Amino acid sequence: MSEDQELDELLEPAAETAAVDEPIPLAARRPGLEAVLFLADEPLEGALLAELVDAAPMEVEEELEALAQAYATAGSGIELRRAAGGWRMYTAPTSAPVVRRFALLGRTGRLTQAALETLAVIAYKQPITRQTVSDIRGVNADGAVRSLVARGFVAEVGRDPGPGQAVLYGTTTTLLERLGLDSLDELPPLTEFLPEAPAPDEPDLARLKDVRRRLAAGEDLPSLGGRTAAQTNTGPVPDAPSEEDDLLPPPAPATPDRSDGPGIDELTDRLEAVARSAVGRLRAAVAAGDRTEDRTEDRLEDRLEDRTEDRLEDRLEDRTEDRTEDRLEDRFEDRLEDPPADPPADPPEDREQPAATEDEHASEEAEDSRG
């Protein structure tokens, strides 16, 4: 390597450092901010932008506001606004139809209704545990929370100091970017979405459990008696109770007017009769179901025993036949392999017969010669 090449390599870092330390001219400040914001994939804080253009943070804020105003005045399809504590470029609402058509070409997945409800609960109640979210929604929210975490809208922010130290969840800056909000304080207040009518009375859990226990045991429900309008939230609201009310005798129950129709007591009696009838039917159905199950089990056991006996008999017959065939084959093969024994010797009578025949021939020949 020559001395010139070594000198160039030594001077390259110095040249890069000089390029970074080179002062930014005033004319290049706005184009530089615009280019950096165009390349950024997340909101950039004003302090970072001020460091990039060698300017004071207040000057950069003024420059960014002027740039945002210039976009709005020119009717550009891009607008510059604050988001998640920084500045970022967004598409203008006027270009929404074109952008929507472009986005539909890719068909990006949308959040389900369950995920939206879970996200709303976390956004307004954060930091919050998954169990609390499930209690508020009334259903298991584990799947929705996992989906929001995978999309980057929700993240773990800590641990609950209580027993078990459950994970606490909160929203991320990605949600603020998507919503175009600078902070969570810009979320709409919940009072705008609450109904105007007062909330219904919360049921007494202890009394509700007692009613369920009585229904399960087939007992009679206690009579509720006549309830006045002051005892519910549908009538006029009474004055706030004081400590002296406990010392006074209970007010006499109002006598219901039966001229217009059945009173509360009669309706309560009907409801109790219907409940008792329903419990009786339920018990009868359960008993009938038990009997049906017993009969079904007996039938299945009988069928199983019959099939088992048939299979055992078939197997026993098959094995007996196989063994008999094997034995016959073995005997047949043994006879084929062993040669037959020599035939027994002829009896003495058979052996003497040829000799007698020769004597007869001799006598015949002698007679012939004589003649």
pLDDT, tens digit, 9 for 90 and up, residues 101-131:
877 665 556 788 889 999 999 999 989 999 9
Q: What is the reported pTM?
A: 0.33
Q: What is the pLDDT of residue 202?
A: 63
Write the CA distances from 241 to 81, 164, 246, 250, integer angstroms.
53, 40, 9, 13
**pLDDT tens, residue by residue, 278-293:** 888 888 888 887 777 7
Q: Is the pLDDT of residue 243 over 50?
A: no
Phi, psi (5° rounding) for residue 128? -145, 150
Q: Confidence class of residue 195 from pLDDT cuts 50, 70 and 90?
A: low
pLDDT at position 169 is 94
Give me the residues paired with residue 155 across strands. Answer: 170
Strand partners, 80: 89
Q: Are 350 and 343 in contact (CB under 8 A)?
A: no
Q: What percent of the chain has pLDDT over 90?
A: 17
Higher pLDDT, 136 or 239: 136
What is the pLDDT averaged over residues 40-66? 90
CATH 1.10.10.10 fits 111-193, yes or no: yes
Q: Higher pLDDT residue, 235 or 87?
A: 87
Rounded to whole angstroms, the Cα distance separating 350 from 354 reads 8
**Averaged confidence pLDDT in the chain:** 76
What six digits make up the tokens of 370?
Answer: 């004589």
pLDDT of 230 over the 90 cut? no
Residues 43 and 51: beta-carbon distance below 8 Å: no
Distance CA 100, CA 97 (A): 5
pLDDT at 186 over 70: yes
Domain 20-102 - what CATH class? mainly alpha
Please give the helix or strand (H or E) that residue 89 lies within, else none.
strand 86-91
Q: Could you give the dihedral angle defined by the CA atoms of residues 329, 334, 335 and 340, in that order, rounded to the nearest 10 degrees?
A: 170
Check pLDDT > 50 for residue 77: yes
pLDDT band at 258 (very low <50, low <70, confident <90, very high): very low
80-84 mean pLDDT? 89
Counted residue by residue, the chain has a size of 371
**How many CA atoms lie within 13 Å of 151's alpha carbon, on the beta-carbon side?**
20
DSSP state of 44: B
| 300-336 pLDDT, tens digit each | 888 888 888 888 888 888 888 878 878 887 777 777 7
Alpha helix locations (H) across 107-184? 113-125, 130-137, 142-151, 173-179
